Amino acid sequence: MTSIVKLEHLSHKYSSSWAIRDINIEISKTGIVGLLGSNGAGKSTTMNILCGALNQTEGNVYINGINMREQPQLAKREIGFLPQNPPLYMDLTVDEYLGYCAGLRQLPKDKMKPAIKEAKERCGIDHFSSRLIRNLSGGYRQRVGIAQAIVHRPQLVVLDEPTNGLDPNQITEVRSLIKEIAQERAVIFSSHILSEIQLLCKEIKMIENGRIVFSDTMDAFNNYVEPHSVLMHLENPPAAAELLKIDGIIKVDFLTERQIRLYFNGSQDITEKLISASVQNGWRMREINLDKTALDEIFKQLSSQSA
């Protein structure tokens, strides 16, 4: 069976510096693949080349067996792309914007309305059809961005940091939407936040210093991230004993009165449990992230092994 994505010896140079070097990736036709890397690792360069927004210096990109360089229009018809900053036009309504995007994707006129309606329903924005995009919340703007990426029913959807800047409730909603989209197509989910990748992906590709340093299942990757820890900011924090009652939490460190580091046993839904507990108990969560120091150590370990 033909893979939906195949990158062969992909390399790209900006001026005299290589941004990525000898990237080889193959992705099947359904499910979510995580693309993990620190800021500046080469994720965005890889995605821009993959989506046809940038011509590589060396190597080949195949989308559903089509060479991107030789037949770019055919290859791009198979792709939906949501950049880190959604390409939204704030003075258009949701319907006007999605109609414009459908036209860019060369959808036949007789198929535009049903395709737009399907994308809106899938993304939960049908009731905002006539609303200006500037009047939507950040979470719903992100949903509009995802809708434009799927309006032409692509076989591959590429999402660059799709939960960036959203509050915890909006993040949970967008995660659920991504899982639903991935049931019938391949999704590449790029992030520098490991906990996001862990929650959504069964397979992971990790880029560091422009090279693939890990390519395997999430179960295999989790061997490198024990013990797990997250940093959480609560405006109204409970006692440590209350946090230890949450299934999976094994240690609690109060770094400040409101900043807490929580160690957990590898449960992939730990952030959802913490968000739920915060809402139910009025802890007023302001932030939750993977412990950055722990992630840096993982990058360092894997990079040294692949060198």
User: Would you say residue 219 has pLDDT above 90?
Assistant: no
Q: Which residues, listed in sequence order, are joined to residue 62 by a DSSP beta bridge?
A: 6, 67
User: Would you say residue 225 has pLDDT above 70?
Assistant: no
> Which domains does the chain show, CATH number per domain?
5-222 (3.40.50.300), 226-306 (3.30.70.100)
Distance of CA 37 to the CA centre of its chain: 11
Sequence-distant (≥ 6) Cβ neighbours of residue 67 within 8 angstroms: 60, 61, 75
In tens, the pLDDT along 275-301 reads 999 999 999 999 888 665 555 666 666
User: Would you say residue 303 has pLDDT above 70?
Assistant: no
Please state the rounded mean pLDDT for residues 201-228.
83
Please state the rounded mean pLDDT for residues 91-107.
96
Average pLDDT over the chain, rounded to an integer: 88
Per-residue pLDDT at 207: 92
Q: Which residues, listed in sequence order, are joined to residue 270 by a DSSP beta bridge?
A: none
Task: Give the pTM.
Answer: 0.75
Phi, psi (deg, nearest 5) at residue 93: -75, 170
Per-residue pLDDT at 296: 60
Per-residue pLDDT at 156: 96
In tens, the pLDDT along 62-73 reads 999 999 999 999
User: Would you say residue 269 has pLDDT above 80?
Assistant: no
The string of DSSP letters for the chain reads: ---SEEEEEEEEEETTEEEEEEEEEEE-SSEEEEEE--TTSSHHHHHHHHTTSS--SEEEEEETTEETTTSHHHHHTTEEEE-SS----TTSBHHHHHHHHHHHTT--HHHHHHHHHHHHHHHT-GGGTTSBGGGS-HHHHHHHHHHHHHTT--SEEEEESTTTT--HHHHHHHHHHHHHHTTSSEEEEEES-HHHHHHH-SEEEEEETTEEEEEEEHHHHGGGSPSEEEEEEESS---HHHHHTSTTEEEEEESSSSEEEEEE-S-TTHHHHHHHHHHHHT--EEEEEE-HHHHHHHHHHHHHHH-
**What is the Cβ-side half-sphere exposure of residue 304, based on CA atoms within 13 angstroms?**
5
Percent of the chain topping pLDDT 90: 62
Q: How confident is the model at residue 306 (pLDDT cuts 50, 70, 90)?
A: low
Per-residue pLDDT at 66: 95
- Which two three-digit tokens encode residue 267? 């449960």
In tens, the pLDDT along 141-164 reads 999 999 999 999 999 999 998 888
Of 182 and 301, the one with more pLDDT: 182
Q: How far is residue 302's CA from residue 299's CA, in Å, rounded to a whole number?
A: 5
Check whether the bond before 227 is cis (ω within 30° of 0): yes
Please state the rounded mean pLDDT for residues 168-189.
89
Q: Strands 186-191, 156-160: parallel, antiparallel or unpaired by DSSP? A: parallel
Question: Is 36 in contact with 64 (CB distance < 8 Å)?
Answer: no
Question: Is 230 in contact with 271 (CB distance < 8 Å)?
Answer: yes
